[in-house]
Amino acid sequence: MKAFCLIIAYLVAVTFPLILSALVGGPPRQFHQELASGFGMLAFSMVLMEFILSGRFKVISNGVGMDVTMRLHQMMARTALVFALLHPFLYQGTPSGGPRPWDPTRELTLTTDFSALASGIAAFLLLPTLAL
């Protein structure tokens, strides 16, 4: 019973940012862009939850055992890695082609400018080493 409650608590904690985003988010976008954002948000919240799973907290590991907790940690880390590696490929960016009059802050514009993508590329290349 405690394992079931911990799994439910994990799922609620991981999906809470996604649910909150759906409730207060902006207008819907194309499906693949929503899926890409969802994968990115889930991956980030799963990575944050990994710190709790690997922290060897007695409240978590006493009921189910340290081996089960570490195995769940490994499986969720691999799942988060897949989500994080998939999410940039689901966006369909086009060359920026300059500023758009309807988006002066470029907040809604997907771009292929290297300067805007450099930190994401670095994170994309470094994330597998974190999972390993």
Q: What is the DSSP string of the chain?
A: -HHHHHHHHHHHHHHHHHHHHHHH--S---HHHHHHHHHHHHHHHHHHHHHHHTTT-HHHHHHH-HHHHHHHHHHHHHHHHHHHHHHHHHS------S-BTTBTT-TT-----HHHHHHHHHHHHHHHHHH-
pLDDT of 94 above 70: no
pLDDT in tens, 10-60: 899 999 999 999 898 777 778 888 899 899 999 999 989 888 877 777 777
CA-to-CA distance for 70 and 54, rounded, in angstroms? 7
Question: pLDDT value at position 86?
Answer: 92
What are residue 103's phi and psi, to 5 degrees?
A: -140, 70
Question: pLDDT value at position 120?
Answer: 85
pLDDT in tens, 102-120: 777 767 666 677 887 888 8
Q: How many angstroms separate the most distant Cα atoms in the chain? A: 58
8 Å CB contact between 49 and 16: no
